[in-house]
Amino acid sequence: MNANEPLAYRVRPKKLEEYVGQEHILGKDKILYRTIKADRLSSLILFGPPGCGKTSLAKVISETTKYRFYKINAVTAGVADIKAVIEETKNFMLNPTGKAILFIDEIHRFNKLQQDALLPFVENGTIILIGATTENPYFEVNKALISRSMVVKLEPLNEEDIYKILKMALEKPEGLGEYHIHIKDETLKKLSTISNGDVRTALNSLEIAVLTTEMDSNGMINITDEVIKNCVQEKKAVFDKNGDSHYDNISAFIKSMRGSDPDAAIFYLARAIKAGEDPMFLARRIVIAASEDVGMANPNALVVANSAMQAVNMVGMPEARIILAEAAIYVATSKKSNAAYLAIDKALEDVENKDTGEIPMHIRNAPVKQMEALGYHQGYLYPHNFPGHYVEQQYLPDKMLGTKYYIKDENID
C-alpha cells in the first residue's frame, strides 16, 4: 500500500464482484458484465459525472483482461504517446497477442488530430479503446470513434452505494482499517448524501476527517457530524456550468416554466445559481420563455421578464437571485400561449419556401407625388377615419390571401 495515495485510489475495486453501483450496465445479466468477464471487450466510451466510477471500471478491466493494458491521460498525453503504445502493441516479442487495451482518461480533451491518430488502430482491432469523459461524447468525441465504440452512460452513485463503499473503506487494511475509528451509521449516511453521487468526494472527506481528528485517551478516533461538516465544508456543486449538465439543467428550467410548475422552475434556477451560471444568461432564458411560451396569453410577462433582466444587470448577485426567482415564478404561473411563436415560424417558412407574390399597391409607400401616378398608395383606406377605427381592406399579397398565421387559442383574452 502506498500511504501517499488518496483513499479513493487505495480502495478501488480490483475485481468485478467488488465494484459497487451501475447495476443498469453491470448487472450479471447485462452485456457489459458478460463481455468483461469473458474478456471479449470491444471499444468503450464511458461517460458520466465525476466520481461515478469510470476509472474504477477501467481498473477492474485492467485486472481482468489477458491483453496488455495501457493508461494515458488526455491532459498530458499527445500523439507521440499514442504512437509509443501502438509500436509496443505491434512488437510480437513484447506482446504476442498483437492487441492491447488503451484507457484514455478525459478523452474529450484530445483534439481532432489526436483522436484521428487512434482511428485506424481501433478500426483494425490493434487497440481496444476505453475512453472516459465527463462530457457528452456525442459532442466531444470524433464521430468515427463513436461509431466504432459502445457508448456507456454511468449514473451518479446513489446514497446506498456510497454508504457501502465508505463502510468497505473503513474495514479494508489498504483503506482505513488499521485505524481505530468510531463513526455512527447516521453520520456515514449524511456524508453519503452531501457528496451528491461523487464517491471520490465522500472518500476524500472521510480520510481528511480521520487524519485531522485527534485520538481520545483510548486511542479511538471519533468522527461526529460536526467533524464531517467541517471536512466537507459545503454540499458539492450540482453540476459544472461548462459541462453537459449545464444544457440539461437549463432545459429543465425552461420546460418547468413552460409546464407551469413554479416549484420545479425555482429548483432548477437554484441549481443553476449554485453552479455559478451567469445571472444574465438565466435572465435571458426567462425573457425568451415569456415571449415564446406565455406570449399573447399574458403579454405583461414579457414586460416583467425584460424589467427583471435590466434589474439583474444593475443589481448583480447575490440579490439578483430574488429578481430571477420573481420573474421565473411569474412566467411559470402565467397562462400559456405559443400563438406568436407558431405564427412567426410559419410565416418565415412561407417566406423562405413559397412564391409569396407582391405587396399590394395601395399599402406601398409613396414618398414622392409622382409615385402615386404609378399606383403606389392609391386607394389606401386610413382605418382611423372609420367607425371603430377599422375598415376592411386587403393587406396580404394576392398569392397569400386567406393565409392564417396568428390563431387565437383559448388562453388568449
**Is pLDDT above 70 for 2?**
no
- pLDDT class of 26 with cuts at 50, 70, 90: confident
pLDDT exceeds 70 at position 140: yes
Of 122-126, 217-221, 325-329, give the range with the top mean pLDDT: 325-329
- What is the pLDDT confidence band of residue 239, given thresholds at 50, 70 and 90? low
Say yes or no to pLDDT of 260 above 90: yes
The answer, yes or no, to whether residue 290 has pLDDT greater than 90, is yes
- Nearest-CA neighbor of 190 among 166, 211, 216? 166
pLDDT at 262: 96
Which stretches within 316-407 are classed as H helix? 320-333, 339-353, 369-372
Across the range 111-116, mean pLDDT stands at 86
Domains of the chain are: 22-153 (3.40.50.300), 159-232 (1.10.8.60), 244-333 (1.20.272.10)
Q: What is the model's pLDDT at position 91?
A: 84
Q: Of 86-90, 260-264, 299-303, 328-332, where does mean pLDDT reach its minimum?
A: 86-90
Report the percentage of the chain scoring pLDDT > 70: 96
Q: Cα–Cα–Cα angle for 141, 142, 145, nearest 5°? A: 100
Cis before 50? omega within 30: no
Torsion sign over Cα 314, 320, 326, 331: positive
Average pLDDT, the chain: 89
Instruction: Give the pLDDT mean for 361-370.
Output: 86
Closest CA to 142 of 129, 155, 160: 129
Predicted local distance difference test score (pLDDT) of residue 1: 47
In DSSP terms, 105 is beta-bridged to 73, 132
**Does pLDDT of 75 surpass 50?**
yes
For 147-198, the pLDDT digits (tens) are 888 899 998 888 999 999 999 999 998 889 888 999 999 999 999 988 888 8
pLDDT band, very low/low/confident/very high, at 3 (cuts 50, 70, 90) = low
pLDDT value at residue 325 = 97
Compute how many other C-beta atoms are within 10 angstroms of the C-beta atom of residue 341.
Answer: 15
The mean pLDDT value for 114-131 works out to 88
pTM for the full model? 0.65
